[in-house]
A and B are shown apart, each in its own frame.
Chain A
Amino acid sequence: MRRSILLLLALAVLFVAGAAFASDYPSKPFECIAPAGPGGGWDTTMRMATKVLTEEGLVKSPMPVINKPGGGGGVALAYVQKKAGDPYSLIVYSPPLLLINLTGQTELSYKNVTPIAMLINDYGAFAVPKDSPYQSMTDVIEALKKDPKSVKIGGASSPGSMDHLQILQAAHAAGVSGLKEIAYIPFQGGESLAALLGGHVGVLSTGMAEVVGPLEAGDIRVLAVTSPERIAEGPLAAVPTLKEQGIDTVFINWRGIFGAPDMPQAEKAFMEDALGKMVQTASWDEICKRNGWTKAFMGSSDFATFLEKTNEEYKTLLTEIGLYKQAQ
């Protein structure tokens, strides 16, 4: 008798909890994952987004950010697989989500997370020391066409990741043959900028945010940005895009929020809606401006299509240079 009462009670609790789940989502704290250490792009995006979401009252539950660094985001990707179906796990990603799969570092791909919304775009830049012989991106391309090994290109991440891909994409679009031969030299973090400032590499392929300071100070020149249109303000406004220099390509460092695999429909819609409202707030505008991000909201289904298309583009490029690898 007593046991059946207990059972009934348990069932009732479950039922109430279940009901609360559908209508009162979110009703408990989230787990917001930054797949890298603190202070970087992923971490900042996640922290800023959760800050605005909670401050503006769009999400009432606490949204603590935790860091799960390792394997270029692969460790966190493996981690969220354990959370399949849990609507309280959120994670931020950008192009490396596709790249670590395409270069064979993990068998998990963008299909193993639920895209909720793209939030922002960031772009790449190509910089040279101030006394460099290269005056424009065309000069660099000409040199690469003559001898792909003649220009030493520095970047801050390993081959097959963003800094490498963006120079390859530009060279590819400009018709350089021998993409495999291009001397791309990876450095660690800030050392790449130091190597450029010291004139140890010829060209630095990097993100926009990294070059603003030294550009403003006149220590370097920036030959091109990879955005579709010129940057509206700041010192980068004077820098031409690749397209303006006749190189018809754009490299986007997109960042978006994902849920765990098999995130339930209703909860996904809720988060998509909350993020959609968030990007319209003044405080989000302010944050984007401060970090030099371009607002680029994209809802769940568009985002999924975008990922599929982008994945194919990266795959083509990586296949060309022989870095494409199916994970075992």
Chain B
Amino acid sequence: MDILQSLLYGFSVAATPINLAYMAFGSVLGTVLGMLPGLGPSTGVALFLPLTYAMRPETALITMCAIYYGAMFGGSRSSILLNIPGDGAAVASCFDGYPMAQKGQAEAALAISAIASFIGGLLSAVAFVALAVPMARFALRFGPPEYFTLMVFALAATAAISKEALLKGMISLLIGLMITTVGIDLQSGVQRFTFGLPELQSGIDFVVVIIGVYGIGEVFKNFETIKAKGAQAIQRKFGRIWISMEQWKRSWIPILRQTPVGFLIGILPGAGGTIAAMMAYNNEKQLSKHPEEFGKGAVEGLAAPEAANNACSIGAMIPMMTLGVPGSGTTAVMLGALLILGLQPGPLLFQHHPDVAWGVIASLFLANVVCAIINIPLAGALVRVLSVPPRILYPLVIVLALLGVYTINYSVMEFHILVLFGLVGYFMKSFKIPTAPLILAVVVGQSMEQSFRQSLMLSDGALSIFVRSPICITLLALAAVSIAWPFVSDMIKRKEPPKPAHAPAAPEE
């Protein structure tokens, strides 16, 4: 078959010793960068950029892809061990990964995260080969109204996830959206809530909010008991980095279910890993037979977002490779690199430079294997972080977090913002306000407002544009269902006697 032949050719390009060596280098670099808070794949790819000028294009691109995957693997390490997500895509890995580590299951958590990432990545690479072009065409049907309804769905699903605290969850969501109104408004160019500070003109970076609310917030929370307990290590004995049969049985279906979700979201330019991972988590919690275990160290609650965010990062390559449209910050830098190397990304890349195009696709498979091989033993070393007593660990974490956010804009303004959000995170924990809606709102808020206003400009102000296409209507219906579902499923459980075939239709909003 034609595709298979091309793919084999791609493997012959990617599997040369020099390319494999660079791939390994990229994977390690990416994993390390992904682990450090504030530094993520786009930093890694950008750092590597100057080195590419003298390289062969396929080698340069393969290395960049390896950095990208490495960072996706690495990002969840610090989520699990320290509750500090390396970047947005790793936030959902905190929800159950960190509780697992606190319960003494850090080894299993690290293992399942690598395994889920590996499977998610591998399946998506297969899907990439089979479906890239039709999927990319489909993604183009997403215009501003479709994006807006997608964001509404994502936020509704995330707010509904904590039905015990639905009201407080909504407040958390609104505060998240408020944070995104800081900065220059893209649609009109006016400054909002910048208080005359040029550093705020480009808005508050969501990575700073994430590290503040989770990382620093967690540190402040632990300060409460650090005098009493802080001198002891969290864990002293370490086992093998692997999972039990029972954990695997619980995880494999969620991994397979959520991989397509991540992949689809990845293909949409601008959506990204955070939405993918959060959606995967929401879905699993809602589908689970024991949702009460979520947030307390349920292994599937970690496996699902991990699979989805890796699937998403591979999906994000599709618009770049097939259309020349960058789907994320990282792929935008890669696109720039392609141009500098004298290659024009887009559909013709496959005709003009099949060695590069297919080499990169083959490297998706190989890099996944390389990352998995590197990550399992690496996790064995990293898990020992837990043997450092918190009284020493937390000061180090604070320094690392501050330094990490500094590199986002090279400005100490980020220090102050970080500490502020550390306090916000602390109080939210103290008052039992869910933090997940805030984080997702911070990530999607700006594009949500912008796509709302773009839509209205396209329709000259008519709200009917938000029901213009089947995609919009489906997404709005899903949003309504996801708010109603927890209550409906409760009702079903209460009624208990022979379960109805279908849930009653959720009321349309």
Contact between A and B in the complex (any CB pair below 8 Å): yes
Contact with B along A213-245 (1 / 0, CB 8 A): 110110100000000000000000000000000
**Complex: A291 Cα to B342 Cα, angstroms:** 7
Whether A75 contacts B143 in the complex (CB less than 8 A), given A186-B187, A190-B325, A291-B339, comes out as: no
The listed residue with most A CB atoms (<10 A of its CB), out of B269, B332, B457, is B269
Q: Which of B25-33, B102-110, B198-206, B475-483 contacts A (4 or more CB under 8 A)?
A: B198-206
Contact A200 B144, beta carbon cutoff 8 Å:
yes
Q: Is A66 an interface residue (CB 8 A)?
A: yes
Q: Is B188 an interface residue (CB 8 A)?
A: yes
Closest A residue to B347 by beta carbon equals A217
Contact with A along B317-346 (1 / 0, CB 8 A): 001000111110000110111011110111
Closest A residue to B270 by beta carbon equals A191
Contact B191 A195, beta carbon cutoff 8 Å:
no
Contact with B along A153-176 (1 / 0, CB 8 A): 000001111000000000000000
**Complex: A67 Cα to B341 Cα, angstroms:** 21
Q: Is B492 an interface residue (CB 8 A)?
A: no
Contact A194 B46, beta carbon cutoff 8 Å:
no
**Complex: A323 Cα to B458 Cα, angstroms:** 21
Contact with A along B171-203 (1 / 0, CB 8 A): 000000000000011111101000000110110
How many residues on A have C-beta within 8 angstroms of the other chain's C-beta atoms? 52
Contact A39 B46, beta carbon cutoff 8 Å:
yes
Cβ-defined partner of A160 (8 Å) among B50, B141, B189:
B189
Whether A74 contacts B327 in the complex (CB less than 8 A), given A44-B340, A217-B348, comes out as: no
Of residues 173 to 215 in A, which have CB atoms within 8 Å of B's CB atoms?
183, 185-191, 193-195, 197-198, 200-201, 209, 212-214
Q: Is A268 an interface residue (CB 8 A)?
A: no
**Minimum CB–CB distance for B63 against chain A, Å:** 15
**Complex: A70 Cα to B205 Cα, angstroms:** 11
Q: Is A103 an interface residue (CB 8 A)?
A: yes
Cβ-defined partner of A217 (8 Å) among B141, B337, B342, B346:
B346
Contact A188 B447, beta carbon cutoff 8 Å:
yes
Q: Is B464 an interface residue (CB 8 A)?
A: no
Q: Is B2 an interface residue (CB 8 A)?
A: no
Contact B269 A191, beta carbon cutoff 8 Å:
yes
Whether A190 contacts B326 in the complex (CB less than 8 A), given A44-B340, A71-B201, A217-B347, comes out as: yes
Q: Is B238 an interface residue (CB 8 A)?
A: no
Chain B interface bracket (under 10, 10 to 19, 20 to 34, 35 or more): 35 or more
Of residues 186 to 237 in B, which have CB atoms within 8 Å of A's CB atoms?
186-189, 191, 198-199, 201-202
Q: Is B454 an interface residue (CB 8 A)?
A: yes
Q: Is A290 an interface residue (CB 8 A)?
A: yes
Contact with A along B448-491 (1 / 0, CB 8 A): 00100010011010000000000000000000000000000000
Q: A residues within 8 A CB of B143?
A: 195, 198, 200
Contact A194 B198, beta carbon cutoff 8 Å:
no
Contact A188 B198, beta carbon cutoff 8 Å:
no
Q: A residues within 8 A CB of B184?
A: 71-72, 105, 158
Contact B327 A190, beta carbon cutoff 8 Å:
yes
Contact B189 A103, beta carbon cutoff 8 Å:
yes
**Complex: A176 Cα to B202 Cα, angstroms:** 33
Q: Is A51 an interface residue (CB 8 A)?
A: yes
Contact B188 A159, beta carbon cutoff 8 Å:
yes
The listed residue with most A CB atoms (<10 A of its CB), out of B185, B187, B325, is B325
**Minimum CB–CB distance for A51 against chain B, Å:** 7
Q: A residues within 8 A CB of B460?
A: 149
Contact A106 B198, beta carbon cutoff 8 Å:
yes
Contact A185 B323, beta carbon cutoff 8 Å:
no
**Complex: A70 Cα to B411 Cα, angstroms:** 10
Q: Is B142 an interface residue (CB 8 A)?
A: yes
Q: Is B431 an interface residue (CB 8 A)?
A: no
Contact B186 A39, beta carbon cutoff 8 Å:
no
Closest A residue to B54 by beta carbon equals A51
Q: Is B16 an interface residue (CB 8 A)?
A: no
Cβ-defined partner of A213 (8 Å) among B50, B199, B348:
B348
Closest B residue to A216 by beta carbon equals B348
Q: Is B409 an interface residue (CB 8 A)?
A: yes
Q: Is A152 an interface residue (CB 8 A)?
A: yes
Contact B409 A75, beta carbon cutoff 8 Å:
yes
**Minimum CB–CB distance for A11 against chain B, Å:** 35
Contact A187 B454, beta carbon cutoff 8 Å:
yes
**Minimum CB–CB distance for A40 against chain B, Å:** 7
Q: B residues within 8 A CB of A212?
A: 344
Q: Is A255 an interface residue (CB 8 A)?
A: no
**Complex: A123 Cα to B211 Cα, angstroms:** 40
Closest A residue to B454 by beta carbon equals A185
Contact A39 B189, beta carbon cutoff 8 Å:
no
Whether A209 contacts B50 in the complex (CB less than 8 A), given A69-B409, A183-B457, A216-B346, comes out as: no
Cβ-defined partner of B457 (8 Å) among A71, A161, A185, A198:
A185
Cβ-defined partner of B332 (8 Å) among A72, A183, A190, A323:
A190
Contact with B along A119-156 (1 / 0, CB 8 A): 00000000000000000000000000000010010000
Contact A40 B324, beta carbon cutoff 8 Å:
no
Contact with A along B384-414 (1 / 0, CB 8 A): 0000000000000000000000000111000
Q: Is A9 an interface residue (CB 8 A)?
A: no
| A-B interface, 10 closest residue pairs, ranked by CB to CB distance from nearest | A213-B346, A38-B46, A200-B143, A39-B336, A71-B201, A198-B140, A213-B324, A39-B333, A190-B326, A217-B347
Additional A-B contact list (13), CB under 8 Å, known A66-B410, A188-B186:
A51-B50, A65-B50, A67-B410, A68-B409, A69-B410, A71-B198, A74-B201, A191-B325, A194-B319, A198-B141, A213-B346, A217-B324, A291-B339
Interface residue ranges, A against B (CB under 8 Å): 37-40, 44, 47, 51, 65-72, 74-75, 78, 103, 105-106, 149, 152, 158-161, 183, 185-191, 193-195, 197-198, 200-201, 209, 212-214, 216-217, 219, 290-291, 323
Interface residue ranges, B against A (CB under 8 Å): 46, 49-50, 53, 139-144, 184-189, 191, 198-199, 201-202, 269-270, 319, 323-327, 332-333, 335-337, 339-342, 344-348, 409-411, 447, 450, 454, 457-458, 460
